Structure 1
Amino acid sequence: MTLTHPPRQLRLIIETDDFDEAVRFYRDILGMPEQAAFATMGDDRVAILHAGEATIELAASTHARNIDSIEGVRPATGPTLRLALEVAHTDDAVSAAVEAGAAVLAPPVNTPFRTINARVQGPAGWQVTFFQELETLEERSTRQGFMTDGQRP
């Protein structure tokens, strides 16, 4: 059976022991607006932050290692999950993250797929890649090497 309608929202749940630091980083530093969410009292806290359009990127291990190499990050051991956030200016996002205490794992780099990528270590151990698009999806789809998985030989 296939769903007749695609999901309407993707939520990535980041469990953290330092809730205040995570909220400060994602909401206050990265500017993700908060929406109302239900939680009881005391330590039962939750923040739902709007991060724009969501996509799921499925990457074979070889592709993930290639991205690690392009960004200049040592490959992770085993499967990983990290955030990738499209931003207007990668340099500005990195500066804001660093001012908030994030560690730079990979400084901004121009990639072969026409983005400017950088990676930081966010709260709760999550890696966050900032990427700035340098061309539209339409422009990219006309270039050699860009196709859907179903189109690959």
Structure 2
Amino acid sequence: MGNGGNGTGRVRQLRLVVEAEDFEEALAFYRDVLGMPEQEAYEADGGARVVILDAGRATLELANPAQTRMIDDVEVGRKVAGHLRVAFEVADAAEVASDLEHAGATVVAPPTETPWRSLNARFDGPAGLHLTVFQELDD
């Protein structure tokens, strides 16, 4: 049943590919405001561009509908997340939340302490992504 998180599985990387209509806005937000370093970048004929940002460790969290409703209720107080929510673990959720808001992200819920001892904030960000930034409080 799994590999215990020791990195010996068949998959070496999780990459979330997002089409951004306003590429420059999304790049500035995720690279410069959220602080994800540029790992690779490519341009091709016809104006095609891609930038791969380093998000640190990646996991795939699968949740059933009851779980997503419960998380939305705890963090926001109502159902807000769609099929996909992108969560970023950060060292200081309140500081990052403030930076994201000042950079134009729509605040869905301010930093909220959860019963499992994390500080979570919700946003709608560029490129149509529903975001959580979270800080583990018991580290």
Q: TM-score, normalised by structure 2?
A: 0.88
Residue 131 of structure 1 pairs with residue 134 of structure 2: yes
Tell me if the contact between 1:82 and 1:126 (Cα under 8 Å) persists in the aligned partners.
Answer: yes
Select the structure that is richer in strand. 2
Residue 71 of structure 1 pairs with residue 75 of structure 2: yes
Q: What CA RMSD, in Å, does the superposition of the two structures yield over aligned residues?
A: 1.6
* Aligned partner (choices 113, 116, 121) of residue 113 of structure 1: 116
> CA separation in 1, counterparts of 2:39 and 2:68?
32
Tell me if the contact between 2:109 and 2:123 (Cα under 8 Å) persists in the aligned partners.
Answer: yes
Residue 34 of structure 1 pairs with residue 63 of structure 2: no
What amino acid does structure 2 have at the position aligned with 1:115? S
Secondary structure, aligned partner of 2:50: coil
Equivalent position of 1:104 in the other structure:
107
Residue 14 of structure 1 pairs with residue 7 of structure 2: no
Equivalent position of 1:95 in the other structure:
98
Answer with 1 or 2: which has the greater Rg: 1
Tell me if the contact between 1:90 and 1:117 (Cα under 8 Å) persists in the aligned partners.
Answer: yes
Gapped runs of 5+ residues in structure 1?
A: 137-153
Q: How many percent identity over aligned positions?
A: 52
Tell me if the contact between 2:40 and 2:53 (Cα under 8 Å) persists in the aligned partners.
Answer: no
Q: TM-score, normalised by structure 1?
A: 0.80
Count residues with an aligned counterpart: 132
Runs of 4+ in 1 over 6 A off after TM superposition: none
Gapped runs of 5+ residues in structure 2?
A: 1-7
Equivalent position of 2:87 in the other structure:
84
